[in-house]
Structure 1
Amino acid sequence: MTEDKKDRKTRLTVLVALGANLLIAAAKAAAGVLAGSPALLSEAAHSVADSMNEVFLLAALRRSRRPADQRHPFGYGKERYFWSLLAAVGIFVMGGCFSFLQGVQALRSQEQESTGGYVIGLSVLGVALVAEGGSLLRALYQVRRQPGGIGGDPALRTVIAEDGTAVLGVLLAGAGMALHMVTGRVVWEASASMAIGLLLVYVAYRLGKEARDQLIGEAVDPELRRRIRALLDEQPEIDNVADLLTMRLGLDSTLVAARIDLRPGLDSEEVELVSERIKAAVAKAWPEAHHVFLDITDAPPDAQRSPATRDASA
């Protein structure tokens, strides 16, 4: 699957989630104000936060595909991670903190809480459950059909995390409202609001941590690094791979840098040809390796190296 086709599918998934969240955010907010329900208002804040985050993700999809230029010679692939970090902050501030404060405020309120509009509120949550569940199924369907699954796509990962959290949040809010209606005790609904807040804070922390790791420069997974090193070790001209560094520059772009010792006796022209051939071999095996750098030195003659030293360096 080409990069553009992947982005089109991910963009459609984000747009489906955005449309669902905008509709149910308005419905939750109206029903929450009518019913005076802290859990429903918490869910409304949750949906508003998700809607804003999906706008961030759409910006990430568009901006991360810009070609490299003089100021950004390695491209704009890390834009995805930046906007995903902003989405995590949005979930934390707008969703998690507001929901937790709604629960605390409900517990501290001295007024008798009314449940007069809760039937409408529960009906809205039922519609929200269907909409959020449909959006989640759309995202999971893309993951199942996409080669490599979710891979390292932060936009798709964020949509799945948001929709999964939204489904669980709706269930928590519904349970809290129902128990409030049955028992007449607002503590159930306040607890549901705080639980939603804590859930959102946890999800925001996990998404933010992943985005931070990718922004500061994350290596490829150990298995891929092992395969790259094995390919280098197989090259007949390479005497030793002294060091191998990798860094993901974006969803489909990786930097590979290796310090290698070539076998003795190669002249400068041969070294250049060998270098180009090795770079081509790496790029052919892993097309996402857009930048391959080799720091080449001549290995000392075998006669000057003991077997133990040679084995240790390898």
Structure 2
Amino acid sequence: MRALPAELKESNLVIFAALAANLGIAVAKFVAAAITGSSSMLTEGVHSLVDSGNQVLLLYGKHRSDRPPDAAHPFGYARELYFWSFVVAILIFAVGAGVSVYEGWQHIREPEPLRSPLANYLVLAIAFALEGTSWFLALRAFNAVRGDQGWWQAIRISKDPAGFIVLFEDSAALAGLVIAGAGVWASHAFEDPRIDGVASIAIGAILGVVAVLLARESKGLLIGERADPGVIARVRALVDAEPRITAVNHVRTIHTGPTSIFVAISADFDDAMTMGEGEALIERMEAHLKAQEPMLSSIYIRPERREDAVVTALGG
């Protein structure tokens, strides 16, 4: 029997850690922005506040997705997490990136007098430490399931968006802190407060790119993605190993949630089998498949002659 992916066991811890870090950082950034008048620091405060809201939405989505199946939703509510993940991506783009670019443009048009940057530097240092801790936890959880796969490949095949969303958010936050610090320093070094506004726009651009990437991945999960090819291959092999199955026509899967898969199997049964024998064989195969692949929440096995399955497939 195969265990469920390790990323699903740690994703809640990662989200709570990110939420705690972002709430504390947001307060500190807003206080520093009020003291120093820094546009990039205000932008970073909004960024942390948006990230905090996003983590709350992810926790809410995970809670809603745990509801059991009912008459209206016979396959359960697990895919609701994918909906809230898509909402998070939209919020990052609309609120995080939008406010950052707007605030930066306003600061360029109407620059404020420079003030002491000491408060900004202190807050940025504290924020970097807290954000770095959250990023490390997210990275550790992601690497636990990434194995020897490339980063982008692991993200593309992941069916739990909570893990990689937090990793993306924290990575963007760290990059934003570096840009904000550089903007504050350059503004004072060159005595030009407009540079701080340019830094805000750069932070908004990073958030926009992250939002587009997250929306793309969340959209694929929301529409419906197949199971890992390895799972499909093992299901095919298990069915094909049955002596009275003459051919496996196709194995079609779709993730109904991070830990649940619906599988439809078309197989050619031995023509000499009676209906009762076929029913018993199907029940035995379903039990065996669920024992070997715990994520198979729903299994549909259809007896179908090989030649008929080919015609059906060609006909769409």
Q: Shorter-chain TM-score: which interval?
A: 0.7 to 0.9
Is residue 263–residue 299 contact of structure 1 (8 Å, CA) maintained in 2? no
Is residue 173–residue 189 contact of structure 1 (8 Å, CA) maintained in 2? yes
- State TM-score, norm by structure 1: 0.87
Correspondence 1:216-235 to 2 at 5 A: 216-235=223-242
Distance in 1 between the 2:225 and 2:238 partners?
Answer: 21
Is residue 105–residue 201 contact of structure 2 (8 Å, CA) maintained in 1? yes
Distance in 2 between the 1:256 and 1:267 partners?
Answer: 24
- Extract unaligned runs of 5+ from structure 1: 301-308, 310-314
Instruction: Flag the 1:245–1:146 CA change in 2: closer, same or farther, 3 A.
Output: closer
Q: CA deviation at 1:297?
A: 2.4
CA RMSD of aligned residues (A): 2.5
Instruction: Look up the SS of the partner of 1:291 in the other structure.
Output: strand
Is residue 86–residue 219 contact of structure 2 (8 Å, CA) maintained in 1? yes
Is residue 262–residue 299 contact of structure 1 (8 Å, CA) maintained in 2? no
Is residue 159–residue 221 contact of structure 2 (8 Å, CA) maintained in 1? no
Q: CA deviation at 1:57?
A: 1.1
Give me the identity figure in percent: 35
Partner of 2:126: 127
> Could you report, residue by residue, the CA deviation over 1:116-174 in whole angstroms, capped at 9, with x for unpaired residues?
13221121111111110111112223345569798432112211111111111101111
Q: CA deviation at 1:2?
A: 7.7
- Extract unaligned runs of 5+ from structure 2: 148-153, 312-316
Q: Which moved more, 1:7-16 or 1:265-274?
A: 7-16
Partner of 1:85: 86
Choose the corresponding residue for 2:245, options 227, 238, 251. Answer: 238
> Could you report, residue by residue, the CA deviation over 1:84-138 in whole angstroms, capped at 9, with x for unpaired residues?
11111111112111111122222222x4x42213221121111111110111112
> Could you report, residue by residue, the CA deviation over 1:54-102 in whole angstroms, capped at 9, with x for unpaired residues?
1101112211111111111111111211111111111111211111112
Distance in 2 between the 1:77 and 1:138 partners?
Answer: 24
Structure with bigger gyration radius: 1
Partner of 1:57: 58
Distance in 2 between the 1:195 and 1:248 partners?
Answer: 37
Q: Which moved more, 1:97-106 or 1:148-157?
A: 148-157
Instruction: Flag the 1:147–1:198 CA change in 2: closer, same or farther, 3 A.
Output: closer
Partner of 1:251: 258
Q: CA deviation at 1:198?
A: 1.1
Partner of 2:175: 168
Distance in 1 between the 2:220 and 2:185 partners?
Answer: 41
Q: CA deviation at 1:23?
A: 1.2
Q: Which moved more, 1:68-77 or 1:185-194?
A: 185-194
> Could you report, residue by residue, the CA deviation over 1:267-292 in whole angstroms, capped at 9, with x for unpaired residues?
11111112122222322221100101
Correspondence 1:147-158 to 2 at 5 A: 151-158=158-165
Is residue 134–residue 170 contact of structure 2 (8 Å, CA) maintained in 1? yes
Partner of 2:186: 179
Is residue 264–residue 299 contact of structure 2 (8 Å, CA) maintained in 1? yes
Partner of 1:159: 166
Choose the corresponding residue for 1:296, options 280, 296, 303. Answer: 303
Instruction: Flag the 1:281–1:229 CA change in 2: closer, same or farther, 3 A.
Output: same
Is residue 35–residue 114 contact of structure 1 (8 Å, CA) maintained in 2? no
Q: CA deviation at 1:298?
A: 4.5
Q: CA deviation at 1:49?
A: 0.3
Instruction: Look up the SS of the partner of 2:70 in the other structure.
Output: coil
Is residue 32–residue 40 contact of structure 1 (8 Å, CA) maintained in 2? yes
Q: CA deviation at 1:47?
A: 0.4
Partner of 2:140: 141
Which one scores higher on RCO, CA 8 angstroms, separation ≥ 6? Answer: 2
Is residue 264–residue 299 contact of structure 1 (8 Å, CA) maintained in 2? no
